Amino acid sequence: MKRFVLLVLILITGLTVFSQGIEFQKERYAEVLEMAKKQNKLVFIDIYTSWCGPCKHMADNVFPQAKVGEYYNAHFLNLQLDAEKSEDGKMVAKTFGVSAYPTFLFVNGDGELVYRFLGGKTVDMFVKEGEKAVDAFAARPELKKYTKKYEEGNRDKEFLNQYFILKDRSGLDCSDVLLDYFALVDDSQLLDSINVPRIGKITVFDKKLANRFVDAACVEAANPVKDKKHSTAVNKAICTFLSACVQKTAQADQEENFEEVLALKDRLFKATGAKNSATAASLGGGNIYIPSELLRLNYYSAKKKLDKFNHLFINYIAELQKKYEGSREEKIAMLKAMEAKLKEAKESGNEAEYQAARKLNAMMSAFSSIDDYYTSTSMIENVERYEEIYEGEKDAAYKDRVAGWYVFSHQLSPSAKTAAYVADKLLALDKKGQAKEVLTLGLKDGSSAAGVEESDVKACQAKLDELK
């Protein structure tokens, strides 16, 4: 009996804790808007997809928290929409240009966007974003006044400054205002502390302004007069801006502007010493850090510029193959040097030095792994794309060539996560021997690679056993 009572208490407690989180409405989007209009509230919308890891993290670990539920339930009507499977989700995602997940929207009862943000957040950060949405809602009447004056042609610099602050506080795209604002800013003031953060908020490409930003950054890099923190902020802001530009120009199929952005990137990186790095991109640097060849391949593939894709792909994979042995030897030498340093630190008896060496070793290995894995998976996708668009005879020479590309692309970063997939591609080309080699390498060198789960290792082993 006591055990039964205890079980009931546990269940009740669990339900109580869960109910303290965000309470999501079950009604359709249009109905929730009507409810919000009557209650003079904002609608908070979680736009997610079933495959999005950060979306799942937010749903499992942030939304159920009492602190989050207390604030969001009091201030908003809350709604969850799947951007791919729900009709409302598809419509809302299209209406507000959602392209990354999770994206969080706050709209009023008229369906007008008041505030937005994206990406996984901690509990405190998530509540803070809600507070920003409430502030933006309160400031909306003032924002409407400024918008009306802007549409009437007001381009006074101080007016633009205040209008930007209001729009930015609402999480809205400020590109239009900032383009007009920076047109009034002298070159000598472009990189002032007030203006630097604003550079990263521009999401459209303006050739003249983009060149002014890069020119100013190159001058500063050649004549450093400010602190390192400022230089870092400048590079981050301009790279964020260029990342938005490369994405927008590719989406709009503006090839000339797309190439101009990549040329600006080359100039900026040469001046500042920055390098292509998927690690830097994943840590918030922006997709401008992705190798330009891979950005071009993505663009050509998406816009069906097939001749350009084929030409670049064949040349780029040949270049990677040529560099592979030399870079592989360099990495082996680097790893040996790091291991020797680690051994030396351990034998010295200095625990602090040893722990520092271990931390550095792990960090460098992780960064190298991210770059290699990104290139590997990108090239596997590009080989697959080459197969899809190939129109010639798929004879023995074709199969040998494509199989060699698949094997090499996997070698760039052996992983149990990709080995089974590549093996299936090789089997489709009648390359059973190479499929077994890829699976063996994936298990030997890639069982503990980044992102690999136990299920990946089991799938890889099962596929290998099947082929024996």
**Residue among 60, 203, 192 nearest 120 (CA):** 60
**78 exposed, middle or buried (CB, 10 Å; 0-12, 13-18, 19+)?**
buried
SS (H, E, C) 282-305: HHHHCHHHCCHHHHHHHHHHHCCC
At 152, list the tokens.
């009437």
205 neighbors 257 (Cβ within 8 angstroms)? yes
Eight-state DSSP code of residue 78: E
103 neighbors 116 (Cβ within 8 angstroms)? yes
At 27, list the tokens.
């009604």
**Residue among 38, 173, 26, 33 nearest 96 (CA):** 173
Sequence-separated contacts (24+) of 329-336 with Cβ below 8 Å: 331/368, 334/364, 335/365
Q: Which residues pair with 43 in a beta bridge?
A: 77, 107
Between CA 367 and CA 371 the distance in angstroms is 7
Q: Which residues pair with 77 in a beta bridge?
A: 43
415 neighbors 451 (Cβ within 8 angstroms)? yes
Judge whether 52 counts as a catalytic residue. Answer: yes
Between CA 404 and CA 122 the distance in angstroms is 45
At 101, list the tokens.
């997940």
Between CA 203 and CA 215 the distance in angstroms is 19
| Active-site position among 52, 174, 239, 245 | 52
Between CA 111 and CA 30 the distance in angstroms is 9
Backbone φ/ψ region at 153: left (φ over 0), alpha (ψ -120 to 50), beta: left
Per-residue burial over 248-277, b if 16 or more Cβ lie within 10 Å, else e, is bbbeeeebebbebbbebbeebbebbebebb
Tell me how many degrees the CA angle 426-380-315 measures, rounded to the nearest 5. 110
Between CA 240 and CA 172 the distance in angstroms is 16
Q: Which residues pair with 115 in a beta bridge?
A: 106
DSSP string, 16-54: HHHHTS--B--S-HHHHHHHHHHHT-EEEEEEE-TT-HH
State the catalytic residues.
52, 55
